[in-house]
A and B are shown apart, each in its own frame.
Chain A
């Protein structure tokens, strides 16, 4: 009888476990549903440029750690959508990676706050003899009109283009700042190699003597050579005073005066913490 009663005991113990198991599974099933129904406090919405979005998300994340009671949503949609959202009042703050159109009455009614500068740095292999390129030369290289390094003062070797993936902020900055001719967009040559991270671009350029790529300010290191655009060395100073040309501003937009809650967030953006996050994200803070 001893073994049998033992078996029963085990059975019983398992039987007691079962409802708990069901509970766990039940909860797992409920989780996605629960995630949908947050609390009903009105959230502060920040919407706009998908280039500014990752930066603002990082900053807001850090900010919320200090103020867990705040509800702030950072949404994408693009610069124009962000500007519209502030005009219509759906968003408290807008994000834009382009200047406001001052000839547009509605847009010019908004107050822009420049929080950072996003710079595009052209990089080549350390052994490449080319040091200086003009903006037009960079464009023609990436459009596939110039195909040999000889055409821009280098060796007689085929140029290998390295770009970022469609949708990345650095790529859209490059498209906006470089790939333009008479205000019309120019397509990048289809044979350009696509990397999905700044590290990837750097790695390819580091290993391929014929490669040229673009990264943001934060990604510069000694593995690669930085091109002086029109002879200007990119630096925090030359970016802030716009001597270096491949720069676009990151703006926050407001309609009228900021309320205290939004003002404190903007203050945080300009704090030392904010500046450090911007550096991590590869852009230059507009902090004085």
Chain B
């Protein structure tokens, strides 16, 4: 029996080895796709940034690519404003929801609510955009002012879109806080609210910051919904009711007919966006490490 048993185990281990190799190859190929994207985007985009000048491209106010003006400053400001607006709306809401689910809701409520909230992430972004155009934009136009296509509308839509990301990750962080923290706090006479806010929340801080950063990345990268409600005018928005254009929108809106320098300028927009998102992801990774 020992001989026939040995053989298969031997070939099995060789097989295992081969499987390992194949999986390794797959893993490498996914990383190499990233490398290819970086090389391609930078090769197409960098020459234009170099030709027009770093400052003129990043700081220029006028965007008329078919007439030789390539300033993306309004888009950078637009991206930052819309992202911060989304955080302003999304973060407090998410934190309160995850505090409730983690500290105050009983288990039944939690097991029903959490998947439902995560379902928000499954709604396609074009649906959010559509609801924004049909419902939110006229509301803003009629009751707040302007055209309705605005930083405000985009922030509200994005604020809702980042809820599932932030709630789900910060809820996990809150649940990971050891039970004896809570018991100790309650034993010292703190109320449940004091325990939740002064003990559990600070203990889960790094997880919550990671959640916020990931939500921020989601807001910054979102394209479709923003195009539909932000108005896409190339201006530095100085009011929440002004229209704005984000970096992602700029690429998506103009790519259809762009050629030559115009196309390069869109790739250059991609370079800037890439660098911004890259910095964000690195800081998220750093926070995860610290935890």
Chain A interface (Cβ within 8 Å of chain B)? 4, 7-8, 11, 50, 54, 76-77, 160, 165-169, 172, 185, 187, 190-196, 203-204, 207-208, 210-211
CA of A276 to CA of B240, assembled, Å? 45
Beta-carbon contact of B257 and A50 below 8 Å: yes
CA of A172 to CA of B64, assembled, Å? 12
Chain B residues within 8 Å of A169, by CB: 257
- Distance of B147 from chain A, by nearest CB (Å): 5
Which chain B residues numbered 176 to 204 have a C-beta less than 8 Å away from chain A? none
CA of A185 to CA of B64, assembled, Å? 12
Q: Is B232 an interface position by the 8 A CB rule?
A: yes
Chain A residues within 8 Å of B231, by CB: 193-194
Beta-carbon contact of A166 and B8 below 8 Å: no
Known A-B contacts A76-B259, A194-B245; the reply to A167 vs B254 at CB < 8 A is: yes
CA of A184 to CA of B133, assembled, Å? 36
Task: With CB as the reference atom, state the residue of chain A lying closest to B243.
Answer: A193
15 extra interchain contacts, Cβ-Cβ under 8 A, other than A168-B257, A185-B67, A196-B232? A8-B8, A160-B147, A165-B253, A165-B254, A166-B66, A166-B254, A166-B262, A167-B256, A172-B66, A191-B243, A193-B231, A195-B232, A196-B256, A210-B147, A211-B147
CA of A172 to CA of B257, assembled, Å? 11
- Distance of B60 from chain A, by nearest CB (Å): 13
Chain A residues within 8 Å of B148, by CB: 208
Beta-carbon contact of A193 and B262 below 8 Å: no
Task: With CB as the reference atom, state the residue of chain B lying closest to A1.
Answer: B4
CA of A196 to CA of B255, assembled, Å? 10
Task: With CB as the reference atom, state the residue of chain A lying closest to B262.
Answer: A167
CA of A8 to CA of B233, assembled, Å? 65
CA of A182 to CA of B8, assembled, Å? 88
Q: Give the contacting residue for A4; candidates B8, B63, B74; CB below 8 A.
A: B8
Which chain B residues numbered 133 to 191 have a C-beta less than 8 Å away from chain A? 133, 137-138, 141, 147-149
Beta-carbon contact of A50 and B259 below 8 Å: yes
Beta-carbon contact of A196 and B233 below 8 Å: no
Q: What are 28 A-B contacts defined by CB distance under 8 Å?
A: A11-B15, A77-B260, A165-B232, A166-B65, A166-B262, A167-B66, A167-B254, A167-B256, A167-B259, A167-B262, A168-B256, A168-B257, A190-B74, A190-B234, A191-B235, A191-B243, A192-B233, A193-B147, A193-B149, A193-B231, A193-B233, A194-B232, A195-B232, A196-B232, A203-B133, A207-B138, A208-B147, A210-B147
